Amino acid sequence: MNGFIYNIPTKVYFGDHLNMLAPELKKFGKRVLLTYGGGSIKQSGLYNRIVGEIKKAGLELHELSGIEPNPRIESVRRGVNMCKKNEIDVILAVGGGSVLDASKFMAAGAKVDFDPWLFLSEKRPVKKALPLITVLTLSATGSEMDGGGVITNLKTNEKLGRADDLLRPKVSFLDPALTYTVSRFQTAAGAADILSHIMEEYFTTEPDLYMLDGIMETLMKTVIKYAPVALDDPENEEARANLMWASSWAINGFITGGKTHEWSVHPMEHELSAFYDITHGLGLAILTPRWLKYCLNKNTMPRICQFGINVLGISSQLAPALVAKRAIDQLSDFLFKTLKLDRTLTEIGIGDKDFKQMAQKATRGGVIEGFIPLNADDVEKIYEMCL
Amino acid sequence: MNGFIYNIPTKVYFGDHLNMLAPELKKFGKRVLLTYGGGSIKQSGLYNRIVGEIKKAGLELHELSGIEPNPRIESVRRGVNMCKKNEIDVILAVGGGSVLDASKFMAAGAKVDFDPWLFLSEKRPVKKALPLITVLTLSATGSEMDGGGVITNLKTNEKLGRADDLLRPKVSFLDPALTYTVSRFQTAAGAADILSHIMEEYFTTEPDLYMLDGIMETLMKTVIKYAPVALDDPENEEARANLMWASSWAINGFITGGKTHEWSVHPMEHELSAFYDITHGLGLAILTPRWLKYCLNKNTMPRICQFGINVLGISSQLAPALVAKRAIDQLSDFLFKTLKLDRTLTEIGIGDKDFKQMAQKATRGGVIEGFIPLNADDVEKIYEMCL
């Protein structure tokens, strides 16, 4: 076992607690920058409710809308300028992972004189950041409780991630009812995203805490049990609540424990969505079973079998090679049949022309030290398996 | 599902990180009150190491030793006086739950002019508290990550608990290796304590998050798997690490989610140890299976069966009544045969003479609204089942 540091101070209001929004904002100051994406929060009435709470409390409201999925550095720059110009005290991000991620780099960018892209491209240190409060409307990225974010620069075809404890939201409002209106596709892609965050930690040959293994298995079972329920019955509170709380715990750092390996599927997917602007969760779904199949060998088989037995309920009486194969097949069936996500890159109009370049970028010219080590050739082969 | 607020900001260094002790203390000031129990931290060398780190960093060290198991209000008062007299900036508690609990009320008592017992007897509000840092040497109470503590007043035969977010440690150092020297009996009693914290939350007829159910089941399986390993092989890192991290998560508030029911076994046990000064975990072990047996009815049977099947591996093909009976029997076997804890109150020299008074005190003249409602008569009957 490796040692580790656990540090997740985000306060979470789970359920309908928006009456506490203004009191929490006020702790950080008077001038609030409200950030959001398209018009969905206006259609749902959430926008009016939030603006009402802010105005009732006498806080000064500024707004930045139009943050796109796979959020762009241009949006971050707009936010940074607004924060500086209006001397914003606290950012209130309302939306899914894209809005939250963009807002994290606005929070950091507001405190420096350089272009915020340098936090991502050069890993410039985050020394200070404005406080961030979030109201989540999509269970997927876990950005509501972690310190990470991913920003896209379409000019350079780059989608880069960065995490820092200072970027962690101070307070997050998680109300499952706010996800009742999430579309079928986004619910499915979100479920694939949550599952991938857990799998990136779970599939390792490193020694690990049994307790964390069990918790990861529980989180995966939670997604597999409730994503189909939410698809069939979008206003099922039990399903939406389980998915929402699982999304936070999949990536807030708890399940990582002392593991040190790199993530594999996320860097491969980031190139896909950097080049083709696809939905992140969909890219992860297409890649994950192929990656597992590519990783399957004598060393990795026990872990894939453990997944099959403990998460998918495959009989432990079968031969390990068969359990492992079934586990990957059942995972594919879940993603492509149950969740009805597209099965191949071909189906979403992506061919092999950029694979070589994407593979180079995904591995940064080196090796991803994940479940098995992957160099650019390996990544290219995995992309090809997705056609 | 009820809503809830999740707020667990304690930072945890898991593994050997004592080099970070002085830097963390320094964040809060210069004058440190080191609190501990008997001589075990001196025998193990931990005392010298900690004092070395503090002195090397140029901090001002004050010491309060002799905090007893089932810590007394007199120890808390001594600590409060030392904090006030020496203008202590931060308390460093080194030990198990008793030292940590006592230190919490020193931290609160240092900020008020009234007797600290009033935090417990009158639930006087905690408005401020000195920061508390802990180094844990026993996996049991979870005090290292929660805001609760239990203090004994032998003059009034009272053992009272109290929790407040301000009492939560700022930083806790959890090094499994520091528990290698914990005795067989304390390891077993600690395991029973951890298990009880989870069971107090798990056994409910309230609607609940599936995800949290699975996590509670994982935590219970972790204790059941690793307590025997630690008994047989006290320096088994894997076992000690799993027990230690499970102890924190059993009671830090995460698994509670939106549950609102009261705990049952702890108030019954607190009277046992208030009257007879027995080890808390031992009292919990003796009471728990009898309490479950007393609670077993048509409404509670499904939950007891779920425990039997998911935690103890009992076949789901059996009739529910049989599964429930076996679950309680297997739990008893674990506690009394595997952990070798005493099975009855009689064996530890406790008769029925105070049962009526203890039952009145445990229920405060009313009803414990737990797995099933328990009034004083019920509690008296459960005590009698323990003879």
pLDDT computed for residue B292 by the predictor: 98
Does residue B123 form part of some domain? yes
Q: Are residues B169 and B212 in the same domain?
A: no
Does residue B4 form part of some domain? no
Does residue B206 form part of some domain? yes
> What tens digit of pLDDT does each residue of A307-325 get?
999 999 999 999 999 999 9
Identify how many contiguous H helices and E strands chain B contains and give both numbers: 15, 11
Residue A297 CA to chain centroid, in angstroms? 28
For chain B, give the mean pLDDT. Answer: 97
Q: Are residues A142 and A195 in the same domain?
A: no
End-of-domain residue from the set A178, A210, A245: A178
pLDDT computed for residue A4 by the predictor: 97
Contact between A15 and B2 using a beta-carbon 8 Å cutoff = yes
Q: Are residues B84 and B120 in the same domain?
A: yes
ipTM for the predicted complex? 0.96
Determine the Cα–Cα distance for residues A255 and A215; give it in Å rounded to an integer: 7
Residue B253 · residue B216 · CB < 8 Å: no
Q: Residue B275: what residue type?
A: F
Distance from CA of B255 to the nearest CA of A (A): 12
CATH of the domain at B272: 1.20.1090.10
Does residue A364 form part of some domain? yes
Determine the Cα–Cα distance for residues A382 and A385; give it in Å rounded to an integer: 5
Domain that holds residue A223: 184-385
Could you give the 3-state DSSP secondary structure of residue A188?
helix
Distance from CA of B236 to the nearest CA of A (A): 11
Q: Are residues A167 and A294 in the same domain?
A: no
Does residue A2 form part of some domain? no
Chosen for mutation from B202, B211, B242 (greatest number of chain A CBs closer than 10 Å) is: B211
Q: Are residues B137 and B113 in the same domain?
A: yes
Q: How many folded domains does chain B comprise?
A: 2
pLDDT computed for residue A39 by the predictor: 83
Q: Are residues B245 and B136 in the same domain?
A: no
CB-count exposure of residue A207 (10 Å: 0-12, 13-18, 19+): exposed
Question: Of the candidates B11, B209, B222, which has its C-beta nearest A211's C-beta?
Answer: B222
Determine the Cα–Cα distance for residues A67 and A135; give it in Å rounded to an integer: 15
Q: Are residues A137 and A280 in the same domain?
A: no
Contact between B5 and A12 using a beta-carbon 8 Å cutoff = yes
pLDDT computed for residue B148 by the predictor: 96
Q: Select from A62, A59, A140 the least CA-distant residue to A99.
A: A140
Q: Are residues B234 and B168 in the same domain?
A: no
Contact between A218 and B219 using a beta-carbon 8 Å cutoff = no
Contact between A11 and B7 using a beta-carbon 8 Å cutoff = yes
End-of-domain residue from the set B126, B161, B178: B178
Q: Are residues A243 and A324 in the same domain?
A: yes
DSSP lists the bridge partners of residue B95 as B136
Strand A132-136 versus strand A148-153 pairing type: unpaired
- One DSSP character per residue, B312-348 reads T---TTS-HHHHHHHHHHHHHIIIIIIS-----TGGG
pLDDT computed for residue A244 by the predictor: 98
Does residue B359 form part of some domain? yes
Low-confidence ranges of chain A (pLDDT < 50): none
Q: Are residues B215 and B152 in the same domain?
A: no
Residue B171 · residue B13 · CB < 8 Å: yes
CATH of the domain at A27: 3.40.50.1970
pLDDT computed for residue B120 by the predictor: 97
Distance from CA of B3 to the nearest CA of A (A): 4
Question: Of the candidates A1, A11, A15, which has its C-beta nearest B237's C-beta?
Answer: A1
Does residue B3 form part of some domain? no
Q: Are residues B217 and B366 in the same domain?
A: yes
Q: Residue B1 above 80 pLDDT?
A: no
pLDDT computed for residue A2 by the predictor: 84
Q: Are residues A350 and A236 in the same domain?
A: yes
End-of-domain residue from the set B151, B178, B205: B178
Does residue A4 form part of some domain? no
pLDDT computed for residue A68 by the predictor: 94
- What is the percentage of chain B residues whose pLDDT exceeds 70? 100
Which chain B residue's Cα is nearest to A219? B211
> What tens digit of pLDDT does each residue of B211-232 get?
999 999 999 999 999 999 999 9
Chosen for mutation from B210, B212, B221 (greatest number of chain A CBs closer than 10 Å) is: B210
